[in-house]
């Protein structure tokens, strides 16, 4: 049971040092499958022409003196390096806070996420991220901080500056001030500047102090008015104030929590921030987070006019034009637009989420999918198709053209099938503790940091595919090749049976020897079993209700020019496939693929 602070009337003000960012991990299971829902309110907001992403021409440290710090005890931490870099090289006069910092274990790069602060409040679209390698070098950064000349003269004010009718609200209301954030705060001024503008609210029942910010333009609307403005935008009826209850959030974010909002599934979170506009000016806004049945909105309401000036829906439908489950290859059927195919148990946050980050390309918790036309070992910065903010991966395909021309289709299909196999086998026990492939295990055990690295049209080979399975906690690596048997060449990324077969090596290897032992299926009969399991999984996932025992199945038929890559197709007919276990004794069956 939670204690509440009831506010009988509407007006309330908040010192907010830590408003929430748009993170898809906040979306729970009920929002993972909305393909039959038509959602009319699209995302929009200011376009920042000055935002940038920079990869320096040469790797560099933030200061030459860092190169001289040879003693391990004197080395700067990644957080210190990031702060030093921002203050000395980018924004010497800016106030900001470190929002998040984490290290990618596979390459040693530390990612530091920074939010700009102005006049004690966050700038919702003032973001900066710094990437630091294991040697302490800044290797890239992104920057959308508001530039100094565009900073306005926004002032702090107490409620006495409001019109008389609003003073009546305040005199009869109860108010509180949010606690300061415990996140790292970097300021060019003493921290006591945060106390400027705090006033006792005369007439309030509990005499708490409040910090209330207004622009020079005049009146600032109340949080309730902002909520009603949003209600009007989504075509809902006006909210009755007498039905609402208010209390302070229990975390260090300091939100005003509003209960009993008719169209919200959970308490609405409200805070006060700034937002950069197209002309780089700053506008004070009320920041609202509203969870609804088919949406989870993050809205920014102009605190002077009540206009909705930015909107983000954290619920994102993902659509892929692929050869879906049940279609093995272009000979077996056509592509289809598939919406939200993720399983809510296996991938509860969707296929494009990694912890606190949400991607719009073919990156997610289960797989990194990208082209590797040059056959490089590096993969992190390789090309990936972009689905835009709406996560629509729908690209043209002309099989008469060379495979390179439809690389977007290839990577999308590869991404889809890696995720499908992950989700399916999760339900059959290949989960976190069993050693599956995930970036984050969400506290469910096992070692994390090992999603599959899936390379489409890998230039290191032809007419094949492979999968490397190190122990749990290290990336599995899938390489899919182009096949030059036919004219034009064909792409194995469009044949799901090959993808399933390769992924199955990761499953069988970690399940046979256990997550920490990858050495049980290397050769001989054991290796043959690994190959056979791969073909078996690929075959059963092709089954359709109309099939019967007379149906034959090949492996690699499309990629290999309609001929298949096994000596015989899989069949119950001894005429079509005469192989028995005794065949393993034959000299030509010494290899693991023949045994399998």
Q: Which of 178 and 594 is assigned the larger pLDDT?
A: 594
Neighbour tally for 79: CB within 10 Å: 15
Pick the CATH number of 366-384+397-595 from 3.10.170.10, 1.10.3720.10, 3.60.150.10, 2.40.110.10: 3.10.170.10
Q: Using the predicted structure, report yes or no on whether residue 52 has a pLDDT greater than 80.
A: no
Cis peptide before 488 (omega within 30 of 0): yes
- Of the given ranges (470-474, 546-550, 566-570), which has the lowest mean pLDDT? 566-570
Least confident span in 226-235, 395-404, 444-453: 226-235
Whether the full predicted model's pTM is greater than 0.75, yes or no, is: no
pLDDT at 368 over 80: yes
**HSE-up of 218 (CA within 13 Å, CB side)?**
4
**What letters, b where the CB count within 10 A reaches 16 and e where it falls short, cover 452-487?**
bbbbbbbeeeebbbebbbebbebbbbbbbbbbeeee
Q: Give pLDDT, residue 285.
A: 92
Catalytic residues: 502
pLDDT exceeding 90 applies to what percent of the chain?
Answer: 35
Cα 319–chain centre separation: 15
Torsion over CA: 153, 154, 157, 163 (sign): positive
Residue 38 CB partners (closer than 8 Å, separation 6+) = none
Q: 50 among the known binding-site residues?
A: no
pLDDT the model gives residue 36:
28
Angle at 591 between CA 586 and CA 593, to 5 degrees: 110
Residues 6+ apart with CB under 8 A from 404: 373, 457
**In this model, does residue 108 exceed pLDDT 90?**
no
Could you tell me which residue, 305 or 4, shows the higher pLDDT? 305
25 is in an annotated binding site: no
Beta carbons of 224 and 11 less than 8 angstroms apart: yes
pLDDT above 70 covers a percentage of the chain that reads: 71
pLDDT tens across 325-345, in order? Answer: 999 999 999 999 999 999 989
For 302-327, how does the pLDDT look when each residue is reduced to its tens digit (9 = 90+)?
998 899 998 877 766 789 999 999 99
d(CA 454, CA 437): 12
Q: Does 317 count as an annotated binding residue? A: yes
- Which of 229-233, 293-297, 391-395, 451-455 bottoms out in mean pLDDT, i.e. has the lowest? 293-297
H-type alpha helices, 458-523: 496-512
> 498 near 477, Cβ under 8 Å?
no
Asked whether residue 251 carries a pLDDT value surpassing 80, the answer given is: no
Q: Which residue has the tokens 């909210």?
A: 239
Banded pLDDT at 183 (limits 50, 70, 90): very low
pLDDT tens, residue by residue, 393-438: 999 999 999 999 999 999 999 999 999 999 999 999 999 999 999 9
Q: What pLDDT is attached to residue 504?
A: 92
* Mean pLDDT taken over the chain: 75
Could you say which architecture CATH assigns to the domain 52-146?
A: Roll (3.10)
pLDDT at 363: 97
Q: For the chain, give every domain's residue range.
A: 38-47+152-313, 52-146, 366-384+397-595
pLDDT of residue 7: 29
Q: Which residues are CB-contacts of 214 (< 8 A; sequence separation ≥ 6)? A: 154, 155, 157, 161, 220, 284, 303, 304
Lowest mean pLDDT among 134-138, 370-374, 430-434, 584-588: 584-588
Q: Is 448 annotated as a binding residue?
A: no
Task: pLDDT band for 523, please (50, 70, 90 cuts).
Answer: low
Which residues are CB-neighbours of 567 under 8 A, at least 6 positions away? 579, 594
pLDDT at 550 over 90: no
Mean pLDDT confidence for 3-20: 27
If one compares 257 and 172, the residue with the highest pLDDT of the two is 257
Q: State mean pLDDT over 273-289.
A: 90
């Amino acid at each position: 049971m939670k204690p509440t602070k009831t506010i009988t009337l509407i007006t309330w003000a908040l010192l907010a040092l830590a408003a929430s960012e748009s993170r898809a991990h906040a979306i729970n299971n009920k929002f993972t499958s909305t393909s039959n829902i038509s959602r009319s309110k699209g995302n929009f907001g200011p376009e920042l022409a000055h935002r940038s992403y920079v990869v320096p021409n040469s790797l560099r440290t933030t200061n030459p003196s860092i190169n001289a710090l040879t003693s391990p005890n004197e080395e700067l931490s990644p957080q210190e390096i990031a702060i030093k870099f921002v203050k000395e090289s980018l924004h010497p006069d800016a106030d900001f806070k470190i929002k998040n910092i984490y290290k990618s274990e596979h390459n040693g790069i530390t990612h530091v996420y920074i939010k700009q602060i102005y006049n004690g409040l966050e700038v919702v679209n003032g973001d900066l991220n710094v990437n630091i390698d294991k040697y302490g070098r800044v290797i890239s950064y992104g920057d959308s901080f508001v530039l100094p000349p565009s900073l306005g003269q926004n002032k702090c004010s107490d409620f006495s500056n409001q019109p008389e009718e609003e003073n009546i609200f305040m005199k009869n209301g109860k108010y509180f001030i949010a606690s300061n954030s415990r996140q790292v705060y970097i300021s060019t001024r003493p921290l006591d500047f945060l106390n400027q503008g705090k006033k006792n609210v005369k007439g309030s029942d509990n005499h708490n102090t409040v910090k209330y910010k207004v622009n020079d333009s005049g009146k600032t609307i109340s949080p309730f008015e902002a909520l009603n403005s949003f209600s009007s935008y989504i075509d809902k009826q006006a909210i009755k104030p007498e039905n609402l209850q208010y209390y302070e959030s229990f975390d260090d974010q300091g939100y005003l929590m509003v209960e009993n909002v008719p169209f919200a599934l959970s308490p609405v979170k409200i805070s006060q921030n700034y937002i950069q506009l197209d002309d780089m000016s700053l506008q004070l806004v009320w920041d609202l987070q509203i969870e609804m049945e088919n949406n989870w909105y993050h809205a920014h309401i102009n605190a002077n006019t009540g206009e909705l000036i930015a909107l983000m829906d954290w619920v994102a439908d993902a659509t892929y034009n692929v050869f879906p489950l049940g279609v093995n290859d272009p000979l077996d059927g056509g592509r289809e637009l598939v919406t939200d195919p993720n399983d809510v148990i296996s991938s509860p946050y969707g296929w494009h989420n990694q912890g606190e980050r949400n991607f719009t390309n073919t990156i997610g918790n289960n797989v990194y999918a990208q082209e590797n036309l040059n056959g490089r070992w590096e993969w992190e910065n390789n090309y990936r198709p972009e689905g835009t903010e709406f996560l629509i991966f729908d690209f043209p395909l002309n099989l008469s053209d060379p495979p390179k021309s439809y690389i977007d289709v290839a990577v999308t299909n590869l991404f889809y099938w890696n995720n499908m196999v992950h989700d399916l086998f999760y339900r059959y026990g290949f989960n976190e503790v069993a050693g599956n492939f995930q970036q984050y295990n969400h506290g469910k055990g096992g070692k994390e940091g090992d999603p599959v690295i899936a390379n489409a049209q890998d230039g290191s080979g032809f007419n094949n595919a492979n999968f490397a399975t190190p122990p749990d906690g290290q990336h599995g690596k899938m390489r899919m090749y182009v096949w030059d048997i036919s004219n034009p060449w064909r792409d194995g990324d469009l044949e799901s049976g090959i993808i399933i077969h390769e992924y199955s090596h990761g499953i069988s290897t970690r399940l046979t020897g256990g997550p920490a032992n990858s050495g049980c299926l290397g050769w001989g009969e054991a290796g043959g079993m690994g190959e056979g399991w791969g073909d078996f999984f690929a075959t059963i996932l092709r089954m359709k209700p109309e099939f019967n025992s007379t149906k034959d199945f090949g492996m690699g038929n499309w990629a290999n020019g309609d001929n298949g890559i096994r000596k015989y197709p899989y069949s119950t007919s001894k005429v079509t496939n005469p192989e028995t276990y005794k065949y393993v004794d034959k000299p030509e069956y010494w290899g693991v693929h023949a045994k399998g």
